Amino acid sequence: MASGKHVVEPSSRALANLESGGFIDLENEAGKLPQYDSATCPDGVIDLSGAINGLMDDVLAEEMDQFSKTYEFAKGMTTRYGDVMGPKELAKAMSSFINRYFGSSRPVTSNDILVTNGVTSLIDMMAFGMCDPGEGIMVITPTYMMFPHDICARAGVSLIKVNTEPIESQFDEQFAPLLIKAMSRAHAAALKDGVVPKALLLCNPSNPCGRTYPRTTLIDIARFCGRKDMHLLSDEIYAMSTFTTAAETDGQALPSFTSVLSIQDDLPHGVFAENIHCMYGASKDFGCGGLRLGFLVTRNELLWRSLRRLVLFTWVSSFSTAFFTHFLLDEEAVGRYLKTYRQRLQAQYVVTAQLLTKNGIPFVPANSGVFIFIKLTDWLDHGEDLTRLAGSRKMRLCRNLLHEAGVFLSPGELSLSTVPGCFRLVYTNKREAMPIAIKRLATALEEIKQRPRSQFSWSAMSGLDIKGTMNVEEDITRNIVHFSISGLMSFPDRPVAHLLGPNGPVHAVSYSASPGTYILTGSADRNIRLYNPASHDQPQRYSSAINSNKPPGTIKAAVPEGRLIQTYAAHGYEVLDLSVSSDNERFASVGGDRAVFLWDVATAKTIRRFGGNAHGHTARVNCVSFAGDGDSLVISGGFDTSVRVWDAKSNSAKPIQVLDEAKDAITALAVRDAEVIAGSVDGRVRSYDIRMGRCVTDVIGASVTSLKLTRDGKAMLIGSLDSKIRLMDRESGTCLKTYADDGWRNEELRVQAALGSKEKYVIAGDELTAGTGPADLNGDGKIWAWDLLTGKLVATVRVPCPDGFEPKKRMLGKDGKEKERSNVISCMAWRSDGWGDQFCVGGTSGVATVFGSL
């Protein structure tokens, strides 16, 4: 496909869709593998992910065959347009069907029916019809995995998740009050974030849980929507896919299906039929996904008329509507069909449930839908190396089952499930292969369980086994507490790994969250790279564009090379800062693009992009940090003098807060609880309490280049362009200690400082060039280390540059302009926020160097 500078890019909203729809990418991955066929490919992948109903294929084939014998193909009825919503008889037939099977509180007429080419189109249409851009639709999780895409892709609407994890069962009426409280919390949180909820979208029967909401719970939900002036929209596409089984929870039979259309008007509680809407289709109960038919049932005349103008985009097929009209009008045939279908559905569920039970695979009992929600939480922490399979722990398990067991399941993560390790298993499509599929699953899960728990999972927590005596020194006058461990606290001056690859200066390094196994680097070549510094078993990797006279593969580094795991490419300009989320599944990056990029670690794709528009930074973005509960916020600081607070969980393109008190560029950020601390070229550090709206300013006097908080948050380490590093008491604003040396210089470039070895040391990079500084260090970049308590210089460590790498590069000065420098060490990070046994530095050479222990 053609690409290049001459190609005009799509719109930003179109490009944003490339960052959503995770199941589409997963489906494409699975589709490239050989597919199961009992005769021609018995070892192929058995796809149990898609909600395809094949139980009634034989009956439908007979119905279609009989209809085609009487359909007048020769008169062009198939090839002509037909009515945009099909024949009028279709709406009449559907209204009659609804009245017979949905128990509507008032008779549904053909005027209440809107016909489209599928429920997917209806969801998009209803998002447009119920909300203005920036407003929100609430969904109760877990839910249909495509709701986020269908709601947000075109309508500019935000999805508001209602978390049900603390609730034992959202489908039991005894827990309805807790469900309503969860909805209230989500509603209030959305309003606080500036998003007005305009509707609640239900999936009833639930996809993926295979359960239905009891009537009393539906009434409570309708009353909640009434109080909040919201629409209640229910996707009831599995309404007839219900059955009775021996499946019980705590001895109680599961509730049967109740439609929202059956809810009576309740004026005192604000419940009106006009605000309650139902979606139905031919795809699931009738196994006719290929007909592409969806039906909206609404008693809201104004909404119906508004949406009627949009059905030109969802024009239905003449043949599809003719066949389905013919079928629905034969009420006896429909009755026979549903009776047979429910019998087969029940039987297939029982077979599948028994197979799962026999093979020790836990699942949630169901009585509706065409799927079972299985729970594989116990298998999440076994087995897979991050470098081998992409994704979160849940997605890695999904890919393990796909590639090793040959079974494709839909991950609950995509259905917004907060319970890790759930998967949706569809049992109505590959009936003959179901015993084979479940046996494959059981075998693969048993094999996984035998493996040691993963040592490579970013989410795994491993303690550091430290032996020695602990001494506590306290500077009473300065309130500095310093911990040291005997025998382990000498400065780690031994380089243990080079991280090669960037073609240009490394501007940012960041460790993964605890235990800090991995390192991210961001560089002037616009790329971000993920490394495991402890892996030396891979062949050496080098960028073909590295400035070297030696051919790739012949360069030898005196220091071992870490393993390059992944490269992340989306930036159009240099990368200047990185921040990793606490769960290690996301990271944020910023640079010259004037935008904040939010990445999925596993897929190497951007999830969100904040800015790059009228609401974003107007110049280079220098620094970024996660904040808030669950890393729900992203904070960015830029050359435009502003700090911007972004909501990482909503789809809003606007920052939720802009802090613009600085008079010059923001160069450094630190975050603690509700506080955002920003350092600026104007020589000030501003501490914002974003909840209380307060700002406290500390005057440093020189341009700030670096900012770190101590672990207790009581002090901050500030680097500045007067060749000094200061430890400041945050409460009093006094300087506790200054770190400097005649040979150390930081007057022009952004050179970072950090705390290390459990806050025993203050370390900093160096902007000196060859020919300056201590004679024995000329030619190499340098790291300087001071004792935190005494302020004495305790180490000056050379940073060796591998053969074939030219340390002379162009760097950004304080004025934002490039300057040629060599041997500059400008960025650094210490594992576990200064409490680990390893640190990493980067600079002009384009090589990141790791010191300490592997």
DSSP state at residue 382:
B
Can you give the pTM of this predicted structure? 0.57
pLDDT tens digit sequence for 443-484? 999 988 876 554 333 233 222 222 233 333 333 223 333 333
Which of residues 828 and 20 earns the better pLDDT score? 828
Pairing of strands 675-680, 684-689: antiparallel
pLDDT band with cut points at 50, 70 and 90 for residue 27:
confident
What tens digit of pLDDT does each residue of 400-414 get? 899 889 999 999 988
Least confident range from 131-145, 283-297, 523-537, 734-748: namely: 523-537
Q: Which one has a higher pLDDT value, 653 or 552?
A: 653
Distance in angstroms (rounded) separating the CA atoms of residues 598 and 579: 10
CA within 13 Å, CB half, 309: 7
| pLDDT in the model for residue 221 | 98
Class of domain 22-51+338-449: alpha beta
Residue 399's pLDDT band (cuts 50, 70, 90)? confident
Beta-ladder partners of 709: 716
Q: Which residue has the higher pLDDT, 351 or 13?
A: 351
Range(s) of the chain covered by CATH 3.90.1150.10: 22-51+338-449
What confidence tier does 832 reach under pLDDT thresholds 50, 70, 90? Answer: confident
- Which range is most confident: 37-46, 364-373, 510-519, 682-691? 364-373
Percent of the chain with pLDDT over 70: 85
Size of the chain in residues? 854
Q: List all residues 6 or more positions away from 642 whose beta carbon is below 8 Å from its beta carbon.
A: 617, 658, 659, 660, 662, 666
pLDDT for 464: 26
- pLDDT, tens digit, for every residue of 349-384? 999 999 999 999 999 999 999 999 999 998 886 654
- CA geometry: angle at 132 spanning 128 and 133, to 5°? 95
Model pLDDT, residue 474: 34
What are the tens digits of pLDDT across the range 277-326?
Answer: 999 999 999 999 999 999 999 999 999 999 999 999 999 999 999 999 99
pLDDT for res 452: 59
Residue 216 pLDDT > 80, yes or no? yes
Q: What is the pLDDT of residues 145-172, one digit of tens each?
A: 999 989 998 998 999 999 997 788 899 9
Q: Which CATH number is 87-329's, of 3.40.50.460, 3.30.499.10, 3.40.50.2000, 3.40.640.10?
A: 3.40.640.10
User: Could you tell me where in the chain the CATH 3.40.640.10 domains are found?
Assistant: 87-329
pLDDT confidence of residue 186: 95
Measured CA to CA, the distance from residue 202 to residue 277 in angstroms comes to 10
Q: Is the dihedral of CA 327, 332, 336, 342 positive or negative?
A: positive
Question: Which pLDDT belongs to residue 673?
Answer: 85
The average pLDDT across 105-117 equals 97
Lowest mean pLDDT among 115-129, 323-337, 548-562, 763-777: 548-562
For residues 5 and 289, give the distance between their C-alpha atoms in angstroms, rounded to a whole number: 41
- Pair 542, 491: CB distance under 8 Å: no
Q: Given this model, what pLDDT does residue 24 score? A: 79
Q: Tell me how many helices (H) and strands (E) the chain has.
A: 14, 47
Q: pLDDT at residue 556 above 80?
A: no
| Tokens matching residue 264 | 């009576």
Q: What does the pLDDT average to over 112-120? A: 97
**pLDDT band at residue 769 under the 50/70/90 scheme:** low
pLDDT of residue 458: 28
- Mean pLDDT (the chain) is 85
> Is pLDDT above 60 for 415?
yes
Residues 256-274 pLDDT 10s: 899 999 999 999 999 999 9
Q: Is the pLDDT of residue 771 over 90?
A: no
Write down the pLDDT at residue 162.
Answer: 95
Q: Which of 788, 736, 737, 740 is nearest to 761 (CA)?
A: 788
Q: What is the pLDDT of residues 650-666, one digit of tens each?
A: 888 889 999 999 999 99
**Residues 644 and 658 sit within 8 Å (Cβ to Cβ):** yes
What is the pLDDT, as a whole number, of residue 179? 96
Tell me the backbone φ, ψ of residue 612, rounded to 5 degrees.
70, 15
